[in-house]
Structure 1
Amino acid sequence: MSLKFRLTVMNFLQFFVWGAWLISLGGYMGQNFGPIEGSSIGLSIGRTYGSMGWASLFMPALLGIIADKYFSAQKVLGFAHIGAGIAIYFATKATNSSEMYWIIFATSCFYMPTIALNNSVSYALLNKFNYDVQKTFTPIRVWGTVGFILAMWMTDLTDWKSNTMQFVFASVAMIVTGLLCFTLPDVPAENKNTNQSLSSKFGLDSFVLFKQKKLAIFFVFAMLLGAALQITNMFGDTFIRDFGSNPEYQGTFGVEHSVFIISLSQISETLFILTIPFFLKRFGIKQVMIFSMIAWVLRFALFGIGNPGSGVIFLILSMIVYGMAFDFFNISGSLFVEKETDSKMRSSAQGLFMLMTNGVGAILGGEFAGRTVSYFTIDNKVQWPNVWFSFAGYALVIAILFALVFKYKHNPNEVINVSH
């Protein structure tokens, strides 16, 4: 088998194993568990998803050091996937939200570092065998999103989303992925960065970038918007499934196949990636990021007025705008960091961008979203329109503040180079 094919399979499985449970976890917890003592089930779900943010704060750097200095990177990637597969299996034994929190945290400690490691291994092998990395990796990486979508469909159409089979499915897939990683060509440890301090290895030196006003403002907004990135992953499935308690919506396609409906978001994501070069060229990085924030407003507001019956069109429109909401900020934000930082600090700066969005932002988002759902839960019934309109208002405030505070001049003659 060619290297490109093997890397395509690896990238497909990298996100396939995540799609098997990430979207359906919240709905499963809502249907099967009560709240952790002293909190609502909404807050329990939010904090469980927030555990991924805690894992993202330190585990990617830790496994990155191990891959750099001690073991071949593809082996570290393989062991991490197997560790995640073993951890997620214990979700089949969880009897309450507290147990599930620690199981998802343990799973995330192994899984979250594999996202960066997967990219590192792919880049290293493409370079090793003299491929044009930028040209070759993009079509390979797209298969990761395809894998995520296909896993969602399988979980939905088999109705594993409603029981522990989703975790068995994910566990087996993760272990198979880990074993396949060992068959890849060697990416040996190079004992790199031996003269760096421990703070440098964990990317803490990148916080010096906060001394630059423009970057400091950007990273603060990255954190604030990062708090919104996982909200619909946390509660989208739960929200749609809740309509099943209303006779008017029982048996509708949306209620029966909620995860399938949500998968339209990931399809939209793959399509909007293709439009980014045009939008960046025409409008510039700041405007594209504002478009993203307005898209988040629409994402939440359309959830607020949608339903699986006569209002299903609003749910579908929400899924469509998700592609703009997610891609436009992540990719244009990454390009901004690339342009505004010194070449010696770019890797650290990109790591800080990810830490602020997927680490600190995800933690705050889990807590904020959980408390919002809890606040609007009356007699164990969530007032979902109030929840979604609150999130829409939050995104709108961020968009307005960003437009007023963040200063960035667009050069329409600049060459835009987008890789994903």
Structure 2
Amino acid sequence: MGITSRLKVMSFLQYFIWGSWLVTLGSYMINTLDFTGANVGMVYSSKGLAAIIMPGIMGIIADKWLRAERAYMLCHLVCAGALLYATTVTDPQTMFWVMLVNAMAYMPTIALSNSVSYSCLAKAGQDPVTSFPPVRVFGTIGFIVAMWTVSLMGLELSSAQLYIASGASLLLALYALTLPKIPVAEKKANTTLVSKLGLDAFVLFKNPRMAIFFLFAMMLGAVLQITNVFGNPFLHDFARNPEFADSFVVKYPSILLSVSQMAEVGFILTIPFFLKRFGIKTVMLMS
């Protein structure tokens, strides 16, 4: 199997894990565990906290002590354990801490998977800028397949979705052992801890255009997370109404919500065309 195909498998599994629970865990917690909306929001906030803290820390570890593919493997082993334990949790406080551990291990793997892909493609003599998007598309396909699998198997309100995610995490951890070795980055002189953690990027807010862009990205991200967290529970709530209880949308909410991921597949592939033809401002306005 060529390196591009191997990276596509990695990308598929990377986002299959997320798609197995990200959209449906809220419905499981509300309908099966009787969590409140505030409880669900608290649990999902763990993802945001981990996304702020962990990528920089894991980046330092991967740069200084561990090869990227080994760090990637260890993170997914932790994810597998945390997700497996989450199947036994029935209270909001414990669920928050368990999912925080999962998020702290999973969020760095997004950047690590990108680093592994770029390094492997460059080593194979390919241009990462043009070769990476087709690889990344398989991640979105994996997310969609996971959503459909959980939905069609009737597991949206079951802890079984977490078993699937845990199994996929373990599989990806083992698969990571087969990936090419990524050399540890050369040490850079006079690099501060602030720089290593990426905190020096905040100086970009001094540029009004960058500040506007970041605010736009933050608001767009907020809208996305509200949909991810409460879109599925919202559709499940229609089951209370006999008029809609047997409808396709109520039985398989994730399939309807996967339309957004399907659109993402198309847009990822067309981004180079739209950016070249219209520019970043027009593309942002269109979005």
**Which range, TM-score by smaller chain?**
over 0.9
Aligned to 2:236: 241
Aligned to 2:106: 111
Aligned to 1:22: 22
Q: Give secondary structure in 2 for the equivalent of 1:162.
A: coil
- Match of residue 46, structure 1, among 41, 44, 59: 41
**TM-score, with structure 2 as normaliser:** 0.95
Q: Give secondary structure in 1 for the equivalent of 2:156.
A: helix
**Paired residue type of 1:234:** V
- Match of residue 190, structure 1, among 177, 185, 194: 185
Q: Give secondary structure in 2 for the equivalent of 1:161.
A: coil
Aligned to 2:208: 213
Q: Give secondary structure in 1 for the equivalent of 2:178.
A: coil
Shift of 1:239: 0.6
Task: Decide whether aligned partners of structure 1 residues 189 and 282 sit closer, same or farther in structure 2, where only a CA change above 3 A counts.
Answer: closer
CA contact (8 A) 1:34 1:96 kept: no
CA contact (8 A) 2:274 2:283 kept: yes
Q: Does 1:4 align with 2:8?
A: no
Provide the C-alpha distance between the structure 1 equivalents of 2:7 and 2:216, rounded to a whole number of angstroms: 34
**Paired residue type of 1:148:** F
Shift of 1:80: 0.5
Aligned to 1:34: 34
Count residues with an aligned counterpart.
Answer: 287
Provide the C-alpha distance between the structure 1 equivalents of 2:151 and 2:56, rounded to a whole number of angstroms: 34
**Paired residue type of 2:17:** V
Shift of 1:243: 0.4
Alignment of 1:16-95 (within 5 A): 16-35=16-35, 41-95=36-90
Shift of 1:194: 5.0
Alignment of 1:264-283 (within 5 A): 264-283=259-278
- Match of residue 176, structure 1, among 155, 168, 171: 171
Provide the C-alpha distance between the structure 1 equivalents of 2:199 and 2:179, rounded to a whole number of angstroms: 32
Cα deviation, 1:301-329, whole Å, max 9, x if unaligned, reads xxxxxxxxxxxxxxxxxxxxxxxxxxxxx
Higher Rg: 1
Structure 2 unmatched runs, 5+: none
Provide the C-alpha distance between the structure 1 equivalents of 2:136 and 2:213, rounded to a whole number of angstroms: 27
Shift of 1:2: 1.8
Task: Decide whether aligned partners of structure 1 residues 281 and 140 sit closer, same or farther in structure 2, where only a CA change above 3 A counts.
Answer: closer
Provide the C-alpha distance between the structure 2 equivalents of 1:196 and 1:76, rounded to a whole number of angstroms: 22
CA contact (8 A) 1:84 1:111 kept: yes
**Paired residue type of 1:264:** V
Provide the C-alpha distance between the structure 2 equivalents of 1:192 and 1:121, rounded to a whole number of angstroms: 18
Moved >6 Å (runs of 4+): none
Aligned to 1:136: 131
Shift of 1:288: 2.2
Shift of 1:290: 2.1
Provide the C-alpha distance between the structure 2 equivalents of 1:52 and 1:95, rounded to a whole number of angstroms: 19
CA contact (8 A) 1:34 1:97 kept: no
Provide the C-alpha distance between the structure 2 equivalents of 1:186 and 1:150, rounded to a whole number of angstroms: 29
Alignment of 1:20-419 (within 5 A): 20-35=20-35, 41-193=36-188, 195-292=190-287
Task: Decide whether aligned partners of structure 1 residues 287 and 4 sit closer, same or farther in structure 2, where only a CA change above 3 A counts.
Answer: closer
Aligned to 1:412: none
Provide the C-alpha distance between the structure 2 equivalents of 1:231 and 1:29, rounded to a whole number of angstroms: 16
Structure 1 unmatched runs, 5+: 36-40, 293-420
RMSD: 1.5
**Paired residue type of 1:32:** T
Task: Decide whether aligned partners of structure 1 residues 282 and 6 sit closer, same or farther in structure 2, where only a CA change above 3 A counts.
Answer: closer
Shift of 1:165: 0.7
